[in-house]
Amino acid sequence: LAVVAIDQSGAIASYSNRCGVAAAWCIAAPGSGIVSAAPGGGYATKYGTSMAAPHVSAALAILRQLFPELSAEVIVQRLLVTADRSGVYTNGNIYGRGLLDLDAATRPVGATTVLTGATIADASFPLSDTTVRLGAAFGDGLKSALSGMQLAVFDSQRATFFVDLGPFVQLADVSTDLPALLKRFGNVDTQT
């Protein structure tokens, strides 16, 4: 990866190269006003791409620890596809894939799915399509039973996340029209 430094205003630092032809493998990170260990002990404020590169290295290490099931190549891709590409960071010639966004990289990328087969290569379905709607009598009990239980879900890069099952049970808003219900069962007097 190539790393460019941004200054404290968020713009490319005056001392930093631009991504240029390496834009597909380049990312921006903070490089100005970084408090770092100083020679001889203590700390000093430093500036440079040498201050930006450790941000990217640390982010990759965190992702590797968080998602041990992912290959190094997928982790690098995850960091690049989750980079902030808003505002000035849309200029790939300067900022490459954008500004490092570790928060986005630790969240699901793309749709989350639940595996339905015995292996990770088998069919799956989107988690957004998963809801159980039940009436209050049964729904409350099931919701309580499932709350706190976790389900493993996978994002588009097959990173594993765990979600609480309780919110997937929704209580149906059931308002009963008793006269209409009774009419379904034949000639029933609904006046009494």
Question: Could you read off the pLDDT of 131-170 as tens digits, one per residue?
Answer: 566 666 666 777 777 777 887 888 888 898 887 777 766 6
- Give the mean pLDDT of 117-127: 54
Tell me whether strands 113-115 and 124-126 are parallel, antiparallel or unpaired: antiparallel
107 versus 172: which is more confidently predicted?
107
Which pTM does this prediction carry?
0.72
As a whole number, mean pLDDT of residues 17-42 equals 96
Q: Hey, is 28 helix, strand or coil?
A: strand
Residue 111 has pLDDT above 50, yes or no: yes
18 DSSP 8-state letter: P
pLDDT-derived band at 182, boundaries 50, 70, 90:
low
Between CA 74 and CA 72 the distance in angstroms is 6
What's the token pair of residue 69?
Answer: 């099931």
Greatest mean pLDDT among 22-31, 106-115, 128-137, 179-188 lies in 22-31
The residue with greater pLDDT, 134 or 103, is 103
Q: What is the mean pLDDT of residues 93-112?
A: 94
Whether the per-residue pLDDT at 42 is higher than 80: the answer is yes
What radius of gyration, in Å, describes the C-alpha atoms of the chain? 26
Q: Which of 155, 167, 169, 150 is nearest to 113 (CA)?
A: 155
